Amino acid sequence: MIETVDIVESLVSKLDFTFIIDSCTDNLDGTYTLATCNTYQLQALPNCPISIDGSSYVITEVVNNQSITIKGTSKPIVTEFAIPKPFYFHGTAIKTNIEISKIDTFNKFPMVYLLEVLQDRFFARDEVNERETDLRLFFLAPSKFGEWTTDDHYKGAILPMRNLAYQFIKVLNDSKLINNFAEYTLINRVNFGVYVTDKGNESRIFNDDLSGVEMRITLPIKRNLNCNNCLT
């Protein structure tokens, strides 16, 4: 039997995106604006370059689902490029914080984090679903707690992570292993931490400054007798 944490990991691994360049404008200052209809989870992070056709660029601005502006030594001549996949982590908050604190930014963000402990509800053999599991997933990205306004958090982290969450829902809908589900909930998490009613996030969960989106969903996992293909 495949554990739920591994099923979620396989689903996250299918988050594979290609950025389509509708047009490229040379701003004549070493930057280039790439128009597109989907900016996915891309952020303007000066210390996290992206690769386009073998050349390195830094994203200086993202206009959600309209364009990104990049800085580099040459104008891109391709019409598309691959977007780096998100990283997946699972566990309790304390254990996960210890784990990711040892990893550099390039190898942990953007992050899809599955909060544990999980409870799997299993059904009788004659049911279509083998189990249902209530998940709390967090789509998280770097932010700047002391510098960003709420609007900055939305532009810099919340909107990119909502894009990623929407793409994850598409993966669920396309998966042969996941049955139909009626609803899911998204909660914006500015200054990701422990939320106190009417006060916001008062204490830090991870050492990194993060903002993003929490997804709450009951995952209906189908019964699959062919275990060799369970995760396809």
Q: Which of 66-70, 122-126, 130-134, 158-162 has the lowest mean pLDDT?
A: 122-126
Domain ranges of the chain: 4-14+85-229, 17-83
Looking at every residue in the chain, the average pLDDT score rounds to 91
Query: How many angstroms separate the CA atoms of 226 and 185, rounded?
Result: 31
Return the structure tokens found at 82. Answer: 């691959």
Check whether 142 has a pLDDT greater than 70.
Answer: yes
Return the structure tokens found at 122. Answer: 């299993």
pTM given for the model: 0.92
pLDDT in tens, 45-95: 887 899 999 999 999 999 999 999 999 999 999 999 999 999 999 999 999
Of residues 91, 64, 81, 96, the one with CA closest to residue 166? 64
Check whether 199 has a pLDDT greater than 60.
Answer: no
Q: 40: alpha, beta or left, given left = phi > 0 and alpha = psi -120 to 50? A: left
Domain 4-14+85-229: top CATH class: alpha beta
